Amino acid sequence: MCGIVGYVGERNAAPIIVEGLKCLEYRGYDSFGLAVADGTATDGGGKLTVVKKQGRISDAGSDVSLACGNIGIGHTRWATHGVPSDVNAHPHTDCTGDIAVVHNGIIENYAELKKTLIAEGHVFKSETDTEVIAHLLEKFRNAAAEKGLSGIEKVDFAVKNLMDTLEGSFALLILIRGFNGLIAIKRFSPLVLGIGDDELFASSDMTPILEHTQKILFLEDNDYAYLMPDGIRLFGYPSAKTVERDVKTVDWDVESAKKGGYEYFMEKEIFEQPAVFVNSFRQKIDDGAVSVLKKASSITVVACGSSYHAGLIFRYLMEKYCKIPVRVEIASEFLNFTTAKGTVVIAVTQSGETADTLAALRHAKANGCPVFAVTNVLGSSVTRIADYVLYTRAGPEISVAATKSFIAQCAVLLRIVSIIGKGIFEKELFEIYPVLEETLLFDPADASAVCKDAENIFYVGRGVYYPISLEGALKMKEITYIHAEGCAAGELKHGPFSLLTPKTPVVAVCTKDDAYPVMISNIKEMKARGAPVIAIGSGGDADLKEIADIFIPLPRSKNICEVISATIILQMIAYNTAVLLGRDVDKPRNLAKSVTVI
Minimum Å gap between C-beta 591 and ligand F6R is 8
Query: Quick one: which segment of 5-13, 274-282, 320-328, 347-355 binds ligand F6R (CB under 6 A)?
Result: 347-355
Q: Where are the beta strands (DSSP E) in 177-214?
A: 182-187, 192-195, 200-203
Count CB atoms within 10 A of the CB of residue 453.
Answer: 13
Q: Please list every residue from 354 through 373 that binds ligand F6R, using CB under 6 A.
A: 354, 357
The single-letter DSSP state of residue 177 is T
Query: Quick one: which segment of 3-11, 118-126, 206-214, 299-307 binds ligand F6R (CB under 6 A)?
Result: 299-307
Please report whether residue 469 would count as binding ligand F6R according to CB under 6 A: no
Closest CA to 78 of 414, 491, 399, 398: 398
Please report whether residue 128 would count as binding ligand F6R according to CB under 6 A: no
**In degrees, to the nearest 5, what angle opens at C-alpha 194 toward C-alphas 190 and 200?**
120
Catalytic site residue 304?
Answer: no
Closest CA to 593 of 407, 402, 406, 309: 402
Based on CB atoms, which residue is closest to ligand F6R, 133 or 331? 331
- Segments in 214-304 forming alpha helices (H): 254-258, 265-271, 273-282, 287-295
The residue type at 369: C
Please report whether residue 304 would count as binding ligand F6R according to CB under 6 A: yes
Based on CB atoms, which residue is closest to ligand F6R, 304 or 417? 304
Quote the CA–CA distance of 6 and 173 in Å, as a whole number: 7
Q: Please list every residue from 53 through 92 that binds ligand F6R, using CB under 6 A.
A: none
Please report whether residue 595 would count as binding ligand F6R according to CB under 6 A: yes
Quote the CA–CA distance of 191 and 520 in Å, as a whole number: 47
Helix (H) or strand (E) holding 343: strand 343-349
Q: Spot the catalytic one: 527, 545, 587, 593.
A: 593
Closest CA to 499 of 531, 541, 534, 467: 531
3-state SS, residue 201: strand
Query: Quick one: which segment of 75-83, 343-351, 388-396, 534-542 binds ligand F6R (CB under 6 A)?
Result: 343-351
Closest CA to 305 of 593, 10, 585: 593
Helices vs strands, H then E, count in the chain: 19, 25
Phi-psi region of 85 (alpha: psi -120 to 50; beta: other; left: phi over 0): beta
Minimum Å gap between C-beta 500 and ligand F6R is 26
Quick one: which of 4, 402, 412, 573 contacts ligand F6R (CB under 6 A)?
A: 402
Which residues lie below 8 Å from residue 176, measured CB to CB, with a gap of 6+? Answer: 98, 99, 137, 141, 155, 183
Please report whether residue 307 would count as binding ligand F6R according to CB under 6 A: yes
Based on CB atoms, which residue is closest to ligand F6R, 207 or 306? 306
Minimum Å gap between C-beta 159 and ligand F6R is 40
Please report whether residue 419 would count as binding ligand F6R according to CB under 6 A: no
Based on CB atoms, which residue is closest to ligand F6R, 158 or 304? 304
Minimum Å gap between C-beta 146 and ligand F6R is 52
Minimum Å gap between C-beta 413 and ligand F6R is 13
Minimum Å gap between C-beta 216 and ligand F6R is 33
Quick one: which of 28, 82, 305, 537 contacts ligand F6R (CB under 6 A)?
A: 305
Catalytic site residue 2?
Answer: yes
Please report whether residue 567 would count as binding ligand F6R according to CB under 6 A: no
Quick one: which of 401, 564, 568, 573 contacts ligand F6R (CB under 6 A)?
A: 401
x-or-dash string of contact with ligand F6R, 423-462, rule CB under 6 A: ----------------------------------------
Q: Between β-strands 71-77 and 31-37, what pairing exists: parallel, antiparallel or unpaired? A: antiparallel
Quote the CA–CA distance of 255 and 564 in Å, as a whole number: 30
Rounded to 10 degrees, what is the CA torsion of 144, 146, 148, 151?
A: 40
- Gyration radius from the chain CA atoms: 26
Minimum Å gap between C-beta 127 and ligand F6R is 24
Based on CB atoms, which residue is closest to ligand F6R, 80 or 349? 349
Q: Spot the catalytic one: 2, 369, 451, 487.
A: 2
Quote the CA–CA distance of 592 and 360 in Å, as a whole number: 20
Minimum Å gap between C-beta 169 and ligand F6R is 24
Please report whether residue 351 would count as binding ligand F6R according to CB under 6 A: yes
Distance set, CA 116 to CA 101, 121, 132, 139, 274 (Å): 19, 9, 10, 11, 32
Based on CB atoms, which residue is closest to ligand F6R, 306 or 448? 306
Please report whether residue 312 would count as binding ligand F6R according to CB under 6 A: no
Please report whether residue 349 would count as binding ligand F6R according to CB under 6 A: yes
Query: Quick one: which segment of 16-24, 54-62, 351-359, 435-443 binds ligand F6R (CB under 6 A)?
Result: 351-359
Please report whether residue 473 would count as binding ligand F6R according to CB under 6 A: no
Quote the CA–CA distance of 296 and 289 in Å, as a whole number: 11
Instruction: Give strand pairing partners of 277.
Output: none
Please report whether residue 577 would count as binding ligand F6R according to CB under 6 A: no
Distance set, CA 395 to CA 90, 280, 419 (Å): 17, 10, 24
Find out whether 87 and 146 touch, Cβ atoms under 8 Å: no
Please report whether residue 381 would count as binding ligand F6R according to CB under 6 A: no
Please report whether residue 350 would count as binding ligand F6R according to CB under 6 A: yes
Query: Quick one: which segment of 60-68, 95-103, 350-358, 509-517 binds ligand F6R (CB under 6 A)?
Result: 350-358
| CB-nearest residue to ligand F6R | 305
List contacts with ligand F6R (CB under 6 A).
304-307, 349-351, 354, 357, 401-402, 474, 478, 594-595
Instruction: Catalogue the active-site residues.
Output: 2, 593
